[in-house]
Amino acid sequence: MEGLQTAATEYSLADGQQFHLIANSVAKLLETARRELGHDQEAAKASLVTASHILQAEIDRCSGANGATRGGLAAWQIVRVRAYIDSNLHRTIHIGDLSGIARRSKAHFSRKFKLAVGESPHAYVVRRRLERACHLMMTSAASLSEIALSVGFSDQAHLCRLFRQAFGQSPANWRRERGVPGESSSRTGLDGNIP
């Protein structure tokens, strides 16, 4: 019984920390959108879109935690898999690790995860890495290469390629448009843009 109480307390703390991380990210994005609304509507729109993506991901995460899945995995499986992913974004995450956590075969897990979450495990991991990178770009002065490695991308070019696919611009431009610290001291990035 004591072990269950400790586990519940640790989960509550982790959940509270995640809430504050998400709330801070969304608040900064909304403040950026408000500030840019009169000057640069595209920057304001990009901030609002990012905030919307982060909020939708949190809504999806919470609905999975409350047992309201859409027919794939059990709520406990989704909670464990998402917690594992969020705790290990800085590492290589293998489908075998995720299927083992959910206690399913790789193929069965992949199908059921997509049913429950609405995207493949790989797409989900990439999205979470991009969301964490956005948060770090908004809240730290770390270089893009440091951020890329800290969220599990192989290098800055990998981050830049996937970021451009998701948001339509390079991370350096996205960060610069928001007046966020970092990258201002470097002259060029791997994305070829000069600040």
Average pLDDT over residues 84-104: 93
Span 137-174, pLDDT tens digits: 888 888 999 999 999 999 999 999 999 999 898 998 88
Average pLDDT over residues 57-81: 69
Is 193's pLDDT higher than 70? no
Percentages helix, strand, coil for the chain, rounded to the nearest 5? 70, 0, 30
Average pLDDT across the chain, whole number: 78
Return the higher-pLDDT residue of 195 and 139. 139
Span 39-48, pLDDT tens digits: 777 777 777 7
φ and ψ of 3, to 5 deg: -65, -40
Is 6's pLDDT higher than 50? no
**Residue 17: per-residue pLDDT:** 65
Span 108-124, pLDDT tens digits: 999 999 988 889 999 99
**Residue 107: per-residue pLDDT:** 92
